[in-house]
Amino acid sequence: MVSAHEAQPPAQPPVRPSTQVLVASNRGPVSYTLGTDGSLDAKRGGGGLVSGLSAVDDKLWVCAALGDGDREAVRRGVGEPGVRMLDIDADVHADAYNGIANSVLWFVHHMLYQTPLEPVFDAEFRRQWASFETYNRAFAEALAEEAEQGAAVLVQDYHLALVPGMLRELRPDLRIGHFSHTPWAPVDYFRLLPDDIAEQLLHGILGADRAAFLTRRWADAFIGCCTQILGGTGHTRIGVHGLGADADFLRRRAHEADVDERMAALREQTGPGRRTIVRVDRTELSKNIVRGLLAYRALLDERPEWRERVVHVAFAYPSRQDLAVYRDYTAEVQRVADEINAVYGTAGWTPVVLHVKDDFARSLAAYRLADVALVNPIRDGMNLVAKEIPVVSDHGCALVLSREAGAYEELGSDAVVVNPYDVSATAAALHEALTMADDERAARTERLAAAAVALPPQQWFLDQLDALRRD
């Protein structure tokens, strides 16, 4: 007979929950350029995720190789510690990124289709969708291979919407989160997608323990889609984390010498004493830069007293130039800006100062000197420019803000709020912002800045991680 003592299973060391954190995103924190002499030049990116993840020690970032330089870096085994780049077949990646993520999912969530003619879901779409699945599977497999038992995996954005479901099947032990940095489409619009694709996308994200969004509105839209299309959200918990501006970094960086130099150069371009209406965007179809220019033209037209007294400083940095529709939009921004300058400009006054070459120091310079910030997207997950400008503004800045930007939820009460399609109302809002009394503008800027920094990037990231590990 075996005694009770002997019957005990051998003592197991207590299983410590893994501290490892994996992040997965299409674009990683570093990119490589291949020089003509064969050298590889690494460029590190910024943004909320880079800053957020810096709060964690035990981490791995899984991302895709995006260009020739990245692919060469993978082949040579060159890399950053803590980053694994996936060399996914270039054609598969192009189908997944340009074909599905940028041309379908981005369009759906930002409601950008001109529906009489698009979208068209045909055999070509199905072919690209198969690539999108292959690309998502490559991420799921890499994560499954790299993750320790019980690790936390934070999957980013629409590009990787299928990953949580795929990873759950491979590794049921993991804590999986998904975060959407974009809006989520309302159900009637989401239903433009073929039924099986809509279901697959929702099931993909619902493979996560937690699906999180930038605002309550986008979270509710996702819940609405799940409820009406699938009958519910299953076991997946829904979270909201409104990414805020990184005040410490911005305030320090905005007072470095290169920013001061660019402020002087901008002042030179705008002319002394003139008011400035500033916008800073990547030239995405959702940013509504053309209607912003049209509103400015309407202001000059309807209120001639502003001529010679104001300058629209518009920074429209290139984005997704592989897509013809983005190239066309970029050209239209340039065309409308040139037209305004041709019609209204004088010997000593250029009404629109448009810059299209990305320059972070110059963006900060414009943030500091802006009298009015124009943030009028058709639809935007958050829009950090709306949060960053009040934080670094030198003398207070009135914010003209679209009610369709995620930032509206937190900043709406101290902004001049616009319907982004209403050009006349936007022109009136610009006038209101330009004529706001100094003390009111200063007081509003102070409140905007306080709201903007409520959840800095590191806390934003740690909150998600805590919530994922907790429940």
Closest approach, Cβ 363 to ligand F6P, in A, equals: 16
Closest approach, Cβ 64 to ligand F6P, in A, equals: 10
**Nearest to ligand F6P of 297, 320 (CB atom):** 320
Contact between 27 and ligand F6P (CB under 6 A)?
A: yes
Closest approach, Cβ 369 to ligand F6P, in A, equals: 25
Q: Are 276 and 373 in contact (CB under 8 A)?
A: no
Closest approach, Cβ 27 to ligand F6P, in A, equals: 4
Q: Is residue 275 classed as helix, strand or coil in its secondary structure?
A: strand
**Nearest to ligand F6P of 18, 319 (CB atom):** 319
Contact between 182 and ligand F6P (CB under 6 A)?
A: yes
CA dihedral of 204, 206, 207, 213, whole degrees rounded to 10: 90
Q: Which amino acid is at 331?
A: A
Closest approach, Cβ 381 to ligand F6P, in A, equals: 5
Closest approach, Cβ 273 to ligand F6P, in A, equals: 36
CA gap 199, 191 in Å, rounded = 10
**Nearest to ligand F6P of 50, 170 (CB atom):** 50
Query: Which residues, including other chains, have CB under 8 Å from residue 131's CB and lie 6 or more apart?
Result: 91, 92, 93, 95, 96, 99, 100
Q: Are 369 and 266 in contact (CB under 8 A)?
A: yes
The CA–CA distances, whole Å, from 286 to 197, 282, 406, 443 equal 23, 10, 13, 30
Contact between 241 and ligand F6P (CB under 6 A)?
A: no
**Nearest to ligand F6P of 243, 428 (CB atom):** 243
Q: What is the DSSP letter of 423?
A: H
**Nearest to ligand F6P of 19, 319 (CB atom):** 319
**Nearest to ligand F6P of 319, 334 (CB atom):** 319
Contact between 131 and ligand F6P (CB under 6 A)?
A: no
**Nearest to ligand F6P of 33, 319 (CB atom):** 319
Q: Which residue has the tokens 């830069």?
A: 289
Contact between 29 and ligand F6P (CB under 6 A)?
A: no
Residue 301 exposed, middle or buried by CB count within 10 Å (0-12, 13-18, 19+): middle
Contact between 377 and ligand F6P (CB under 6 A)?
A: no
Q: Is residue 144 classed as helix, strand or coil in its secondary structure?
A: helix
Binding residue count for ligand F6P, defined by CB under 6 A: 8
Residue 345 exposed, middle or buried by CB count within 10 Å (0-12, 13-18, 19+): middle
Return the structure tokens found at 292.
């912003």
Binding residue for ligand F6P, selected from 320, 431, 441, 444, defined by CB under 6 A: 320
Q: In what order do the strands lie in the sheet with 152-156?
A: 83-86, 59-64, 21-24, 152-156, 175-179, 210-213, 237-240
Binding residue for ligand F6P, selected from 98, 134, 319, 334, defined by CB under 6 A: 319
CA gap 440, 430 in Å, rounded = 15
Residue 120 exposed, middle or buried by CB count within 10 Å (0-12, 13-18, 19+): exposed
Contact between 362 and ligand F6P (CB under 6 A)?
A: no
Please state, as a whole number, how many other Cβ atoms lie within 10 Å of the Cβ of residue 205.
Answer: 26
CA dihedral of 84, 178, 244, 251, whole degrees rounded to 10: 0
Q: Which amino acid is at 347?
A: A
**Nearest to ligand F6P of 101, 311 (CB atom):** 101
Contact between 297 and ligand F6P (CB under 6 A)?
A: no
**Nearest to ligand F6P of 157, 209 (CB atom):** 157
Closest approach, Cβ 380 to ligand F6P, in A, equals: 8
Q: Is residue 24 classed as helix, strand or coil in its secondary structure?
A: strand
Binding residue for ligand F6P, selected from 157, 209, 371, 404, defined by CB under 6 A: 157
Closest approach, Cβ 4 to ligand F6P, in A, equals: 58
The CA–CA distances, whole Å, from 135 to 25, 106, 172, 278, 297 equal 12, 17, 21, 39, 44
Binding residue for ligand F6P, selected from 84, 110, 181, 241, defined by CB under 6 A: 181
**Nearest to ligand F6P of 106, 190 (CB atom):** 106
Closest approach, Cβ 48 to ligand F6P, in A, equals: 9
Closest approach, Cβ 98 to ligand F6P, in A, equals: 9
**Nearest to ligand F6P of 156, 350 (CB atom):** 156
Closest approach, Cβ 161 to ligand F6P, in A, equals: 12
Contact between 351 and ligand F6P (CB under 6 A)?
A: no
Contact between 246 and ligand F6P (CB under 6 A)?
A: no
Q: Give the residue nearest to ligand F6P (CB).
A: 181
Q: Which string of b and e fits 46-82 if b means at least 16 CB within 10 Å?
A: eebbbbbbeebeebbbbbbbbeebbbbbbeeeebeee
**Nearest to ligand F6P of 212, 423 (CB atom):** 212
Closest approach, Cβ 99 to ligand F6P, in A, equals: 13
Binding residue for ligand F6P, selected from 381, 406, 420, 457, defined by CB under 6 A: 381
Return the structure tokens found at 421.
């399609």
Binding site for ligand F6P (CB under 6 A): 26-27, 157, 181-182, 319-320, 381
